[in-house]
Amino acid sequence: MARRLGIRLGILAPVVLTFGAALPARGEVPKISRWVGNDAVIYVEAARPAELLDQVTGVSFQKLLGTIPVYSRYIKSDDYQRGRQVLDLIAGQLDTTWDKGLRDLVGGGAVLAVEAGEGKAPTIYLLVAPRDPAFLKRANTTLLELARKDAAVKGNPDPVKSAEYRGFTGYASGEKGAYAIVQDVLVIADRGDTVKMLVDRVVDGPKDGGSIVDDAGWKARHAQVKPGGLAWGYARLERLRQLDAQKFSVPEKTKLPQTLFFGSWIEALRKGPWVAASLSWSDGRLAADVTLPAPAGGYGAPYKGYVPPTGTTSAPLLNPPGTIASISLWRDLSALWETRADLLAPEEVQGLAQLDTVAGQFFGGRDFGAGVLGALQPHWRVVVAQQDYGAMKPAPDLKYPAVALVIDLKPDDDDFAQRLKVAFQSIAGLANLNAAQSKAPPLELGSETFEGVTIATTRFMPSKDSPANGKEPVHYRHNYSPSAAQVDSHFIISSSLGLTRDLIKTLKAPAKPGQATLALEADGGVLAGLLELNRNRIVMQNMLEKGNDKAQAEAEVGTLLSVLRYLGHGRLTVQDAADALKVNLEFVLGR
């Protein structure tokens, strides 16, 4: 059943993308929603598909599509030109244009549903309400006539089979898929039996409680839909797990990285009865919202390190000049360390035991859980930023961004801050030992004072053959000047001295409080600018790794840059509310 469900979802996925659209006013239930049975495990609703067409055919999005090699080649191909001619012919016979005709066909809204009751084969169907029912009937008649005339001219049999059922005519071409016009609604289904099921449901009316609109959970989620969205979807996770636990269940224990960063969210997905999502798209904004209920009774003791206490959030995002991405996450690693045996597989717990020994070497014999992680506040911030490549001496040929980790320390443990500085210097010393063995340039250790803050600095010694003679490329290692500094209770570990200086300024300035467990911002335009600096190298790497010629590699890199510039400035937030996990992803679109 699960395999058939996956296959049929794949068959109808392009149709779903075509008909996604804006939602109706809050709480308004489309008529066609009542045709969906209470066995539905997936429900996707749309109301004004014309608004999606406006975005897809808009200048900005078409400009983006034009940079995609596959799309660009297709619109220049003979197949595309023939298709457009046929489309224009059909539109001409209907006294309209292709885009206006499509708006008339789907303008009344659409609902996609997947039903999969216990012991029943899954069914998938799409219900489309036209803006003009008379136009739908004319379009169907015209398409059938053209298809049959074309078959007759070529000496082929009738390509479309039709059959009557309870006063409605159904159509099918081949063994997969069927459609009918039922009470002025276009019904597209995975098979003929699904069309018959829907006809019975419409003619006889759904049984009491037999429609999804009678479900209390669906009602509650639908009432919370915000107006102005592009599409809204609802999936019953609990029922999917009942249908196929192996396919739809989340393993009890996951790998260390997933558990460390996403543990409580994975737990919500593992136990959540449902998930709801909405999508919106306007000229300047693209956004998605996902809601997943918290586990009944809370997350439990093993997950106390993941969920901030009421009224607590992650620290404010840091945005020094040239920021490409900024991340802020709330995680109480000391609490997670104490519950690691409940969260991780035994072999991973055993591997973590080595951290106690390493911590003892670098932090004066402190216990890793209580002495090291216990000295840290649950605020973790990462910043990725462009560097002043012109000021680098020497300037590397391949230019990397700077990356910094900002850790908040508990104010009552001055000894640990000193230990961190010593640990940084010790790691730099170990790096020099490795460099000596490989005959690589060592790191020069030093310090400087910037705005009253002492910075522990390092820099790679320039190679004798490196920049001055211009014969050899400057090694990428010269992107790095690892450094560390403490600003009040904030400890900075950065790959770049320049970024450390910028963060000192940023941390001294007042900041707005955080608003979520996780906050992430990224600037596609700034990242695209950095990639432009390295464009020749990236093109060359594309050619070597993928076997593309230069033109193909240039086109693929150009597409990546166009996507980044189109998406503009992105922001992701994850909130652990008392009743639900709420995820918001938003892009302020560029041009």
Mean local confidence (pLDDT), 160-172: 95
Report whether pLDDT(14) > 80: no
What pLDDT score does 391 carry? 87
pLDDT tens string 478-515: 899 999 999 999 999 999 999 999 999 999 998 887 77
What pLDDT score does 471 carry? 60
Report whether pLDDT(26) > 50: no
What pLDDT score does 321 carry? 94
86 vs 386, which has greater pLDDT? 386
pLDDT tens string 354-368: 777 777 778 878 888
Residues 6+ apart with CB under 8 A from 577: 294
pLDDT tens string 110-163: 999 999 977 778 999 999 999 999 999 999 999 999 889 989 999 999 999 999
> What are residue 405's phi and psi, to 5 degrees?
-110, 130
Report whether pLDDT(468) > 70: no
pLDDT tens string 315-330: 999 999 999 999 999 9
What pLDDT score does 323 carry? 97
pLDDT tens string 562-585: 999 999 999 999 999 888 999 999
Residues 6+ apart with CB under 8 A from 247: 2
The residue among 439, 480, 490 whose CA lies nearest residue 460 is 480
Say if CB 260 and CB 339 are below 8 A apart. no
What is the rounded distance in angstroms from the CA atom of residue 60 to the CA atom of residue 54? 11
What pLDDT score does 126 carry? 96
* Whole-number percent of the chain with pLDDT over 90: 56
What pLDDT score does 28 carry? 61
pLDDT tens string 401-414: 999 999 999 988 88
What pLDDT score does 591 carry? 67
291 vs 7, which has greater pLDDT? 291
Tokens 């999969």: give the residue: 116
pTM for the full predicted model: 0.87
Say if CB 389 and CB 355 are below 8 A apart. no
pLDDT tens string 328-387: 999 999 999 999 999 998 888 888 887 777 777 788 788 888 889 999 999 999 999 999
What pLDDT score does 470 carry? 56
Q: 287 pairs with which residues across the strands?
A: 280, 586
pLDDT tens string 211-261: 999 999 999 999 888 877 788 999 999 999 998 888 899 888 888 899 999
What is the rounded distance in angstroms from the CA atom of residue 420 to the CA atom of residue 413? 11
CB atoms near residue 300 (< 10 Å): 12
